[in-house]
Amino acid sequence: MFNVGDKVVYPMHGAGTIEGIEEKDILGEKQAYYIIKMPGEVKVMVPTSKAEGIGVRDIIDKETAGKVFKVLETDSTEMDMNWNKRYRDNMDKMKSGDVYEVADVVRNLSFKQKEKGLSTGEKKMLLNAKQILVSELTLAENSNKDEMEELVNNTINNSFTQYSKNIANSTPDNVVKKFIPFNGSQN
């Protein structure tokens, strides 16, 4: 059970603050609803009886926020080459409401965007995942949205620069390191 003033995360929407608990009569059924103020002056009504079941949870603390930045600082994890499967996998991570999974989606799609670009669907997913992540980090760190978005972007950019250099400077052991021209004759 949450209280007025609690900061919570609503999966697939982001973090917000419970402004009130109101009883509403919707389709002839009286039910109590959390009124959650989300970023951008959006308000969401969530039935109190179903909130935890659909993944509404308290926001992370400052210590966990630091661990989220550690996720953003690491190299990307392997994603499926098939865009359809990759999209579904990333959507499942976002629906989980787990902040580390959302950070993983943001980092991986950001890296992919820098390397090869993203499809329209994955661009939308990246924007949504980043908004969800930034909204929670903003509340957890008691910061403002623009500063937090810049910090997330800078962290990803630094990480990408570091790991893309490592890739460029490494040659796998199974690659021939010396070019031997083939002249067509056999000795």
- Determine the Cα angle at 86 with ends 85 and 91, to 5°: 100
**Is 42:64 a contact under the CB 8 Å cutoff?**
no
Comparing 13 with 165, the larger pLDDT belongs to 13
Domain co-membership, 79 together with 156:
yes
Choose among 55, 17, 52, 48: nearest CA to 32: 48
Choose among 69, 45, 40: nearest CA to 131: 40
Task: Give residue 15's domain range.
Answer: 7-58
H-helix segments, 5-117 = 62-73, 83-96, 99-115
pLDDT band at 107 (very low <50, low <70, confident <90, very high): very high
User: Into how many domains does the chain fold?
Assistant: 2
Is the pLDDT assigned to residue 18 strictly greater than 80? Answer: yes
Tokens linked to 157? 């950019």
Domain co-membership, 75 together with 160:
yes
Domain co-membership, 29 together with 82:
no
Comparing 9 with 170, the larger pLDDT belongs to 9
The enclosing domain of 15 has a CATH number of 2.40.10.170
Q: What is the pTM of this model?
A: 0.84
**Is 118:94 a contact under the CB 8 Å cutoff?**
no
Q: Give the percent of the chain with pLDDT over 90.
A: 74
Average pLDDT, rounded, for the chain: 89
Domain co-membership, 101 together with 24:
no
Q: What pLDDT is stored for residue 166 in this prediction? A: 62
Q: What pLDDT is stored for residue 185 in this prediction? A: 52
Q: Tell me: the pLDDT tens digits for 120-148? A: 999 999 999 999 999 999 999 999 999 99
Q: What pLDDT is stored for residue 171 in this prediction? A: 47
Q: What pLDDT is stored for residue 175 in this prediction? A: 47
Q: What pLDDT is stored for residue 133 in this prediction? A: 97
Q: What pLDDT is stored for residue 26 in this prediction? A: 85
Report the C-alpha gap between 123 and 57 in whole angstroms. 26
- Greatest Cα pair distance in the chain: 90
Write the DSSP assignment of 128-146 as a string of letters.
HHHHHHHHHHHHHTT--HH
Choose among 49, 23, 52, 50: nearest CA to 35: 23
Rg for the chain, CA atoms, rounded: 22
Is the pLDDT assigned to residue 184 strictly greater than 70? Answer: no
Domain co-membership, 136 together with 115:
yes
Write the DSSP assignment of 154-177 as a string of letters.
HHHHHHHHHHHHHHHT---TTS--
The enclosing domain of 113 has a CATH number of 1.20.58.1290
Asked whether the CA dihedral 95, 122, 113, 145 is positive or negative, the reply is negative
Q: What is the mean pLDDT of residues 109-123?
A: 94
pLDDT band at 177 (very low <50, low <70, confident <90, very high): very low
Q: What pLDDT is stored for residue 83 in this prediction? A: 85
Q: Tell me: the pLDDT tens digits for 142-172? A: 999 999 999 999 999 999 999 887 655 544 5
Domain co-membership, 50 together with 109:
no
Domain co-membership, 68 together with 144:
yes
